[in-house]
Amino acid sequence: MIALLAGLVGLLLGAFGVLAFRLSERQRRHQIEVAEPTIREGAAEVLSVVGRAYVIVDVIDGVVRASPGAYAYGLVRGHTVVHKELLELTARVRRDGVIEERQLELLRGPFGQGTIIVQVRVAPIGDDYILLLADDRTEITRTEAMRNDFVANVSHELKTPVGALSLLAEAIEGAADDETAVRRFAQRMQKESSRLGALVQDVIELSRLQSADVVQTGTAVDLNPVVAEAVDRNRLTADSKDIEIVVGGSIEEKVYGDPDLLMTALRNLIDNAIRYAPEHSKVGVGMRMREGLATISVTDQGPGITAEEQDRIFERFYRVDAARSRQTGGTGLGLSIVKHIISQHGGEVSVWSQPGQGSTFTVRLPEMDQAEQDAEAGAPPAEPNKKGANGAREQGVTA
């Protein structure tokens, strides 16, 4: 009898335990369902077509939902909003209930390498959630900044020779009876007008490059006559400084592009070498094919360029030595034109230099493959070869 009672008690205890477990599970599921964020029906579909990255956060700034773009921009990591600037915006919107919009420059990546500029719009959704919409404005903002800098730089550069011409004209008028002074001022005017003309020509060239479409208008180009013409156009300047231009090598394969633009780029490179080379020296121009790349190197015996300045010499209006550039008549646009043209042709331009050891500028352009040459012979121009432009630096002809 006692054993029977013990068995019944054990059975009741077991049943009670199972019932308690089920009640606990049901309660836990209910709590999970309550805690699970609920977003209005259709909201996700709407957000997916707005064309902007989005993040939805809850009352404690936990990420409820985020688009792939938000992760790609580095705004969200895991279930956390990365940047404190965004969290400050969400806190303000949650407190005031007013939509806010800001343009922010935020660190990008876990190590803070690089930045991204985003236009952020923050708005409340119901009582529990905050929506962040983000649009990447990095490229647009940087392009606008470059345009503004360019306009400012052009204005400054034009002001110098124009002001000089005005002052020299006044000086000539005041020294009309002094023939020696008039001749001296007239020579200065001629120099400043030449500098002004070169600057205007370079600005026009840059403007023309912006609208050039090498893909649509290009053709098969033999670089040997292009290099020969670029050298010929610099003969007069070289002779005035008793500089010998030494040309060596040849390029057997053709490249796809615009021969006039390529000639302009190479002419500017050679002109730059002549300007900075000392009198009675040599400028070397070397050509060769290497690993599917047409390589042209221009070497001078000038003062050289420090490693710190080599990263900036292709910027518009940047001069390594501003005083010397004024003496040589440089505009600060030549190398930027070179880089722009070579980039349009799918190539690259690089520099090797050390102070006191001269400089070597190397242009690499991808050769046309046979299919492109066949299409060029019997059909409208095809797209240029997309081969990479990675090769070892060529020294060219030793100057």
Q: Which residues contact 217 (CB under 8 A, 6 or more apart)?
A: 258, 381
pLDDT of 329-351, one tens digit each? 455 677 888 888 888 888 899 99
Shared domain check, 229 and 319: yes
Q: Domain of 88? A: 45-136
CATH number at residue 277: 3.30.565.10
What is the model's pLDDT at position 24?
Answer: 61
User: Which contiguous run of DSSP H or E holds residue 120?
Assistant: strand 115-125
Cα 46 from Cα 326, distance rounded (Å)? 59
Token couple for 223? 């670089």
Chain centre to alpha carbon of residue 154: 20
Shared domain check, 243 and 130: no
User: What is the CB neighbour count within 10 angstroms for residue 44?
Assistant: 13
Q: What are the backbone dihedrals phi and psi of residue 217, each rounded to the nearest 5 degrees, phi first?
A: -110, 0
Residue 40 belongs to some domain of the structure: no
pLDDT of 10-48, one tens digit each? 656 556 555 665 666 665 554 434 344 455 656 666 776
Cα 369 from Cα 388, distance rounded (Å)? 13
- Residue 226 buriedness (CB in 10 A; 0-12 / 13-18 / 19+): buried
What is the model's pLDDT at position 241?
Answer: 92
CATH number at residue 158: 1.10.287.130
Shared domain check, 357 and 262: yes
Shared domain check, 380 and 264: yes
Q: Which residues contact 359 (CB under 8 A, 6 or more apart)?
A: 273, 276, 299, 300, 302, 304, 305, 351, 352, 353
Residue 14 belongs to some domain of the structure: no
Shared domain check, 392 and 293: yes
For β-strands 244-249 and 282-290, DSSP reports them as: parallel
Residue 2 belongs to some domain of the structure: no
Shared domain check, 392 and 362: yes
CATH number at residue 63: 3.30.450.20
Residue 305 belongs to some domain of the structure: yes
Shared domain check, 207 and 231: no
Shared domain check, 383 and 235: yes
Q: What are the backbone dihedrals phi and psi of residue 288, each rounded to the nearest 5 degrees, phi first?
A: -165, 160
Shared domain check, 351 and 313: yes
Q: Extract the residue ranges of the chain whose pLDDT is less than 50.
A: 30-37, 111, 322-329, 380-399
Residue 127 belongs to some domain of the structure: yes
Shared domain check, 347 and 269: yes
Counting the structural domains of the chain, the total is 3
Residue 268 belongs to some domain of the structure: yes
What is the model's pLDDT at position 139?
Answer: 73
Helices (H), the chain: 2-35, 43-48, 68-72, 84-96, 138-174, 179-211, 214-217, 223-232, 235-240, 259-276, 307-310, 322-328, 334-344, 370-378
CA neighbours closer than 13 Å in the CB half-sphere of residue 95: 6
- From 80, 105, 136, give the residue that closes a domain: 136
Closest CA to 238 of 264, 268, 266, 273: 273
In this prediction the pTM is 0.50
User: What is the CB neighbour count within 10 angstroms for residue 399?
Assistant: 23
Shared domain check, 159 and 71: no
- From 159, 182, 211, give the residue that closes a domain: 211
- From 136, 165, 190, give the residue that closes a domain: 136
Residue 32 belongs to some domain of the structure: no
pLDDT of 158-207, one tens digit each? 777 788 888 888 888 888 888 888 888 888 888 778 778 777 776 776 66
Shared domain check, 259 and 181: no
Q: Which residues contact 101 (CB under 8 A, 6 or more apart)?
A: 119, 120, 121, 122
